[in-house]
């Protein structure tokens, strides 16, 4: 998995993506996350990457040509899928992360200032992605979030596949609660079932908690949930009965 991030602040990307799980994965050669400075492709000695917008208005707009030249250099030698991190983009979710995982090489473009010259987007960008209905000062944090979400699913990055398939959003549900030592913390005990050693009961409890949590906290997700078997149907009936009492 190769991810290139086009940015005005490569040090910001490298400081995060060289640490922890993704950093170790890069050391092992499982993934590659690289930051390229767009200013290195500027056409003047001052490395100018932005200018005033046509039509007037406040702020600056990132120039198309440095972006294009940077993108062109990163595209050399292979098939590339280019994503622009944008407030106008499609909301990023686990399904989109899995789509990007299927790509061999992804370029993430970080905008800044008031935006990016639309002509670059029209010429080079395959899709726009947003990480939420809010505005940040630049695309670096969204790009790192996308890169992390994708890279952690590459085989070998996490100990086993269940490390991410059992988590929130993988199958349209939120994850169950977690507990660790001590058994009783400030008069708050761990649920008895987790101490029972009965694995089938533990799994049933975790599934039920996942269903309850999703229905309560993310009804938008729960509205699309389809029971996977009779056990799910039984759990759902129990949850509905509890709500009616």
- Could you report the per-residue pLDDT of 158-213, keeping only the tens digit for each? 987 655 545 555 678 999 999 999 999 999 999 999 999 999 999 999 999 999 99
Mean pLDDT, all residues of the chain: 94
Q: Is residue 13 part of a domain?
A: yes
Give yes or no for residue 90 having a pLDDT over 60: yes
Strand partners for 164: none
Please report, for the domain that includes residue 67, its CATH number.
3.40.1280.10
Q: Is residue 160 part of a domain?
A: no
Q: How many CB atoms lie within 10 A of CB 87?
A: 16
Same domain, 42 and 111: yes
In this prediction, residues 124-144 reach a mean pLDDT of 96
Same domain, 129 and 43: yes
- Report which DSSP code applies to 183: S
Q: What integer pLDDT is reported at residue 16 of this predicted model?
A: 97
Same domain, 189 and 142: no
Q: Is residue 236 part of a domain?
A: yes
Q: Is residue 188 part of a domain?
A: yes
Please report, for the domain that includes residue 172, its CATH number.
1.10.1270.20
Structure tokens at 36: 């390229």
Same domain, 20 and 136: yes
Residue of 189, 82, 178 whose CA lies nearest to 126: 82
Same domain, 176 and 121: no
Q: What integer pLDDT is reported at residue 172 of this predicted model?
A: 84
Q: Is residue 174 part of a domain?
A: yes
Give yes or no for residue 100 having a pLDDT over 80: yes
Strand partners for 85: 110, 129
Same domain, 110 and 211: no
**How many domains is the chain built from?**
2
Burial code (b: 16+ CB inside 10 Å, e: under 16) for 162-201 equals eebeeebbbebbbebeeeeeeeeeeeeeeeebbeeeeeee
Output the CA torsion sign for 25, 28, 33, 34.
Answer: positive
In this prediction, residues 216-221 reach a mean pLDDT of 94
Structural domain range at position 195: 166-244
Same domain, 36 and 62: yes
Same domain, 113 and 185: no
Q: Is residue 146 part of a domain?
A: yes
Same domain, 175 and 141: no
Residue 17 and residue 33 in contact, taking contact as beta carbons nearer than 8 Å? yes
Q: What integer pLDDT is reported at residue 170 of this predicted model?
A: 61
Residue that is last in its domain, among 90, 121, 151: 151
β-bridge pairing 184-185 and 188-189: antiparallel
Q: What integer pLDDT is reported at residue 99 of this predicted model?
A: 97
Summarize pLDDT for 11-33 with one digit per residue, the tens: 999 999 999 999 999 999 999 99
For residue 149, the SS3 value is helix
Same domain, 185 and 100: no
Residue that is last in its domain, among 151, 175, 191: 151
Specify burial of residue 60 (Cβ count, 10 A radius: 0-12, 13-18, 19+): middle
Q: What integer pLDDT is reported at residue 169 of this predicted model?
A: 56
Same domain, 34 and 123: yes
Q: Is residue 89 part of a domain?
A: yes
- Report which DSSP code applies to 168: T
Summarize pLDDT for 23-72 with one digit per residue, the tens: 999 999 999 999 999 999 999 999 999 999 999 998 999 999 999 999 99
Same domain, 172 and 222: yes
Q: Is residue 201 part of a domain?
A: yes
Residue that is last in its domain, among 117, 151, 185: 151
């Amino acid at each position: 998995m190769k991810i290139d991030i086009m940015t005005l602040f490569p040090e910001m990307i490298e400081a995060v993506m060289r640490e922890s799980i993704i950093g170790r994965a890069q050391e092992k050669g499982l993934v590659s996350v690289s930051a390229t400075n767009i200013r290195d492709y500027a056409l003047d000695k001052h490395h100018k990457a932005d200018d005033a917008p046509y039509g007037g208005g406040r702020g600056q707009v990132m120039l198309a040509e440095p972006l294009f030249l940077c993108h062109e250099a990163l595209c050399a030698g292979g098939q590339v899928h280019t994503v622009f991190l944008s407030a106008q983009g499609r909301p990023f979710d686990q399904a989109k992360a899995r789509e990007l995982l299927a790509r061999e090489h992804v370029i993430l473009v970080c905008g800044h200032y008031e935006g990016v010259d639309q002509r670059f987007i029209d010429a080079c960008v395959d899709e726009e992605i947003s990480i939420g209905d809010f505005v940040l000062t630049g695309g670096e944090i969204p790009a790192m979030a996308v890169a992390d979400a994708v890279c952690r699913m590459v085989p070998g990055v996490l100990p086993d596949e269940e490390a991410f398939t059992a988590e929130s959003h993988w199958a349209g549900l939120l994850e169950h609660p977690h507990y660790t030592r001590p058994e009783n913390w400030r008069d708050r005990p761990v649920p008895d079932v987790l101490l029972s050693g009965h694995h089938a009961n533990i799994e049933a409890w975790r599934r039920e908690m996942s269903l309850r949590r999703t229905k309560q906290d993310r009804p938008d997700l729960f509205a699309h949930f389809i029971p996977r078997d009779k056990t799910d149907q039984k759990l759902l009936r129990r949850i509905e009965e509890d709500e009616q009492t």
